[in-house]
Amino acid sequence: MDTLTPAEVAQLLGTSPNRVRQLLRDRKLMAVPGTGNGKIPADFVQDGAILKHLPGLLTVLKDGGFTDEEAFDWLFREDDSLPGTPVQALRDDRHTEVTRRAQALAF
């Protein structure tokens, strides 16, 4: 998985690194757990913006009781029924199915 620093993400989004750190704090964006805010998956940025529907999906996962580690693992786990990973499905604009699955997993 390719990762980006907050400064690199800021450049792609046309904003400041401080704004990227705020997005991380606000749970609109997620870094690889255990890296502080140092490594943000490149897959979370598409066409100069945060992946559409990612912030909402992160909220669904958090509200569903997922830890950051569990949410991250789920987002990047292969799912033959999607097919691919939930992140890839978001990138392919199949967010409804991904959100439905996240809601069903809530505990």
Domain ranges in the chain are 3-105
pLDDT at 83: 87
In this structure, the number of other CB atoms found within 10 A of the CB of residue 68 comes to 16
pLDDT at 35: 85
% of the chain exceeding 70 in pLDDT = 99
pLDDT at 73: 96
Question: Looking at the predicted structure, is the pLDDT value of residue 74 above 70?
Answer: yes
**Total-model pTM:** 0.91
On whether the CB atoms of residues 51 and 90 are closer than 8 A, the answer is yes
Q: pLDDT per residue over 14-66, tens digit each?
A: 999 999 999 999 999 999 998 887 899 999 999 999 999 999 999 999 999 99
pLDDT at 36: 82
> Mean of the pLDDT values across residues 69-95?
93
The amino acid at residue 34 is G
